Structure 1
Amino acid sequence: SPAGLLLLTSFLLHVKEDHASPTRLVCDNRLIQKYIVEAKDMEKRVGQCQALPPLSCPAVLPLVDFTFQQWKSKSNETKRREILCDLALLVGAATAAQGQVSNECGARQLSQLYRHANSFFLLLQTFSWE
């Protein structure tokens, strides 16, 4: 769902290295609440854009649904791979969509999404996942 994607995006894109290790992101209730509020704000800003036409070429987006128990049972290496693969998908989708959206408001939101997702992707590659 768009709201779920916005929540995941906001959650992942605003995490700073000093807040938590990547494998513990879903455990910090303060961060989760912060990103829920930010996702709602982001959704509101997108909603203020004029109606955006559908993309001519569909974008492949990461799945955003998970259960805490499943997450806890995964190895750190599996978590690392999943997070990085999902971020790579999001960066690719934002890039593809940018080429298809001419609306200034929509293009601005996509550009921001791309910048944040790509920066976070590059940052997470430098983390120690122990």
Structure 2
Amino acid sequence: MELSRLVLLLLVMTVVEVRDTQSSNIDYVCNPRVRDQQIQKVNDLRSVMIVCSAAALLPSPVQLPFVGVRKETWKKKSMQVKRAEIVSELRMFSESIESMREGNQSDCLSILLDRLSHSITNHILIITNLQLPGEKVNQDRPDSARSTQKLQDVQKTYSNLLKGKMESFLKELEEDFCEGRADDS
């Protein structure tokens, strides 16, 4: 039974990996379908978590950032500050995942943490490499909203960051970055 679950897990991970396309920063900003594919990959981890039910509980608690958007405050921030805030929250996720990867864990949990780490790293690179006008702003480590040992909470909070602040930020960039580009949608 355990072998069949591991084979199923590897099959699901292979399908997710095959769909993993490399796209430029501009494509990520200008093509909502590219962003939707990335969010779907994060959401697909939920089905893998079901197969890996033993891996659903992390060996120790991790800190999750507050990823909600307070619209009035968000509107008043510069694009540089918004980017710095998102990158800071992504780095908090990355540090949490890396601390879990250093310990002993099941193969199943190891695969899930690797996928999350890969996704987070890609998003950090995409956001930090966008050329924005103005001076670069460094953001302090975000306040953590809460602590959890549930991998599902980590995945859900990360997904909410991508669908919330990150999507809002990218939609604001579309006008400047995508003007004159053919619509790929």
| Deviation readout 1:84-103 (Å, 9 max, x if unpaired) | 10111011011011123511
Structure 2 unaligned runs (5+)?
A: 1-21, 134-185
Aligned match of 2:106: 103
Q: CA deviation at 1:110?
A: 0.3
User: TM (normalized to structure 2)?
Assistant: 0.49
Contact 2:87 2:124 in 1 (8 A): yes
CA RMSD across the alignment? 3.0
Q: How far, CA to CA, are the matches of 1:123 and 1:33 in structure 2?
A: 15
Percent identity among equivalent residues?
Answer: 21
Q: How many residues align?
A: 112
Give the C-alpha shift of residue 118 in structure 1.
Answer: 2.0
What one-letter code is carried by the residue in structure 2 that aligns with 1:64? V
Correspondence for 1:17 among 25, 30, 53: 25
Asked if the contact 2:91/2:124 (under 8 Å) is kept, the reply is yes
Aligned to 1:88: 91
User: 109-118 vs 86-95, which deviates more?
Assistant: 109-118
Pair 1:57 & 2:60 matched: yes
Q: Which of these two proteins has the greater Rg computed from alpha carbons? A: 2
When structure 1 is superposed on structure 2, of 59-68 and 43-52 the one drifting more is 59-68
Amino acid at match of 1:83: I
TM-score of the pair, normalised by structure 1: 0.65
